[in-house]
Amino acid sequence: MNKSMMLCSLGFLVASCGFAGAAMANHGHGHHTRSHVMEAKAAFVDAKGTQVGTAVLTEEKDGVHLKLEAKGLTPGVHGIHFHNVGKCEGPSFETAGSHLNPKNKQHGFDNPQGFHDGDLPNITVGKDGTVKAEIISKNVSLDTEAANSLLPKSGTALVIHEKADDYKTDPSGNSGARVACGVIQH
């Protein structure tokens, strides 16, 4: 093989590898897409429409980090889920729809046919009615074009329930009424 042909082949190989690397970097968590948002927020309201808390969501390499603070809740363990409609009309918050579930799974981390992308671990409210929690979800995205996006055109919501999620009962883990709701926005 002559020298110019070898350099051409080497150049093609380097260009091909560089292109493949760039494509793989853009498909990871969607961090490089134009539709990707790095942070979103939600303001929780109770059944009367009073703001009772906030949530900040950031997407990082290990998933979407959710930091929430709320007050005025009943002490104890509560289910919390991402819901598939960005509406929080009280008092029941049924306008938030069902859990975010683009893969049509059953509910619950312990359900052999589950779980929803919107399922999250329970939170514990202290005796003073306040909660501060940090949760990481690997099952959602802040990329507006992803199937599991928290920021689609129809919006999504974050809902706190009155009781603990049992992690197995479909559709909402026997977690009871919806007591607080926040529309996720960027």
* Residue 174 identity (one-letter amino acid): N
Task: Give the whole-number percent of the chain exceeding pLDDT 70.
Answer: 80
Rounded Cα gap, residues 103 and 84, in angstroms: 12
Q: Name the pTM for this structure.
A: 0.78
Residues contacting residue 83 through CB under 8 Å, at least 6 positions apart = 96, 97, 98, 99, 100, 118, 156, 157, 158, 159, 181
44 neighbors 55 (Cβ within 8 angstroms): yes
Between residues 182 and 169, the one the model is more confident about = 182
Rounded Cα gap, residues 108 and 166, in angstroms: 7
Q: What is the pLDDT of residue 126?
A: 98
Q: What is the pLDDT of residue 35?
A: 54
Whether the predicted pLDDT of 185 surpasses 90: yes
Whether the predicted pLDDT of 157 surpasses 90: yes
Q: Strand pairing partners for 64?
A: 59, 137
How many other CB atoms are found less than 10 A from the CB of residue 77?
Answer: 13
Phi first, then psi, for residue 68 (nearest 5°) are -130, 150
Q: In what order do the strands lie in the sheet with 131-137?
A: 80-83, 157-161, 178-183, 39-46, 51-60, 63-70, 131-137
Dihedral angle, C-alpha 164, 89, 64, 20, nearest 10 °: 130
Whether the predicted pLDDT of 79 surpasses 50: yes
Token pair in block for residue 120: 């999250």
Task: Give the whole-number percent of the chain exceeding pLDDT 90.
Answer: 58
Between residues 111 and 60, the one the model is more confident about = 60
